[in-house]
Amino acid sequence: MLQKLKKNISVFFKKLAVPAMLALSYLLICGRAEAATATIQSLRIGQNSGGIRIVFDTNAKFGYNVFLLSGPRRLVVDFDNVTLSSKVEKSLTANNVLENPRIGRNVDTGAARLAFDLKQPAIIKKAFMLPPQINFGWRFVIDLEITSENDFSKHVGAAYAVSDDGGSSTQSAKNAKSTKSDVTENKRSNAKKIIVLDPGHGGQDPGAIGVSGVYEKNITLAAARELKKILDAKGEYKVYLTRNRDVFIPLRERVRIARKYKADLFLSIHADSALNRNAKGLSVYTLSEKASDKEAAALAERENKADVIAGLNFAEHSKEVSDILINLAQRETLNRSSEFATFMVSEMRKSCKLLDNTHRFAGFAVLKAPDIPSVLLEMGYLSNRSEEKLLRQPSYRKKLAKSAASAIDKYFENMHHASLF
């Protein structure tokens, strides 16, 4: 009798196990589906001579685990609760570090996985999430540093994985080990930001001529010197001028100067002019191949012709050069330029009258550095008698410079994390 009862109980639980397991599987699958709140549609690449940055645009924060494998060299990223679009594999731009992206799953956890082959040895400097900001949603960033085969081999495996703050023990292992790249990165983060100020025109190019006969080139140089003085006093910046005297510098040479100094920010300073003598107000421009209005287009055309003045006519090459630079321009750079322009408008509003639709867009040649956030400031109209009088006054230029310096401070405060390439 007892043996029969045991047998019946065993059969009962076997029958119960099948639907129970199915129900549990259903809950697990549904739970995973409900938890997968983040979606990654594409990735972007920025690189310099020593490393590369991968930026994933996403709609929500998520967990991650990033590590290296050898035989062959690979970078592997496991995403928690993330849906990876197949477009990610197709959005890898040409670079000298990563190739052959492929999407899969971690067989142990079921997490979405993205793997890359490494063309050359590299190590993981850091990986982190960036919260939403002006013009940006959530971003996941991975920084790689090119290294030797020997150094790469020392950073392969779980002990050197980088995870999110709430992640696995591999993160503790990583945090417990202080590496040379960590020290280098700390030094970089504490380095002074580099700013290049570009006083418009100069030499045989006077720029706009005011109603009293004052030259734009002199007003812009005086304003740039004043801003440099204020920024230097802060002790947080290294500030360079594209010219510090009355000389002519071709527009694209000004861009080259900014890139030579590895500028974190480029500000070109100008004063405007118009046939309408009543026109007045400050404006801020960022790059666009399509001007925001006819006035902006005409102004860009007039400024770009400055290259012809010293006999350096770029007419036969300008479109080619322009196309190359624009194709190289990263969306990140353009967005950052717009973000700085937003701070400029906000701060300048406290000091002077602004032109309607203050933030404008035009194809200025000096704004075409592909990797440097760049803004052009038109301080006002020299063709307007009252505004010209103000711009000739050192006290007024100092007021404008203080507002510009405040905008620069706020921009870099907002960019307290490492700048994207």
Q: What is the pLDDT of residue 219?
A: 96
| Sheet with 138-146, side-by-side order of all strands | 82-84, 38-48, 51-58, 138-146, 122-130
- Better-predicted residue by pLDDT, 159 or 302: 159
Q: What is the pLDDT of residue 169?
A: 35
Return mean pLDDT, the chain: 78
Q: What is the pLDDT of residue 132?
A: 84
For residues 160-184, average pLDDT = 49
- Better-predicted residue by pLDDT, 232 or 329: 232
Distance CA 363, CA 279 (A): 22
Distance CA 109, CA 71 (A): 23
Strand, coil or helix: what is 95? coil
Distances (CA, A) of 153 to 160, 163, 409: 11, 20, 41
Q: What is the pLDDT of residue 73?
A: 93
In this model, does residue 350 exceed pLDDT 60?
Answer: yes
Q: Is the dihedral of CA 43, 45, 46, 48 positive or negative?
A: positive
For residues 146-151, average pLDDT = 89
Q: What is the pLDDT of residue 338?
A: 87
For residues 61-72, average pLDDT = 91
- 293-342: pLDDT as tens digits: 665 666 666 666 665 444 444 343 345 444 443 444 456 677 888 889 99
- Whether the upstream peptide bond of residue 72 has omega within 30° of 0, thus cis, is yes
In this model, does residue 19 exceed pLDDT 50?
Answer: no
Q: What is the pLDDT of residue 294?
A: 63
In this model, does residue 383 exceed pLDDT 90?
Answer: yes
Question: What count of Cα atoms within 13 Å lies in the side-chain half-sphere of residue 159?
Answer: 8
Q: What is the pLDDT of residue 384?
A: 94
Distance CA 186, CA 349 (A): 36
Q: What is the pLDDT of residue 187?
A: 43
Question: What count of Cα atoms within 13 Å lies in the side-chain half-sphere of residue 202?
Answer: 21
- Strand 265-272 and strand 193-199: the pairing is parallel
| Residue 142 CB coordination number (10 Å) | 21
Q: Which domains does the chain have, with CATH numbers?
A: 38-185 (2.60.40.3500), 193-414 (3.40.630.40)
Q: Which helix (H) or strand (E) holds 127?
A: strand 122-130
Distance CA 142, CA 77 (A): 10
Q: What is the pLDDT of residue 333?
A: 78
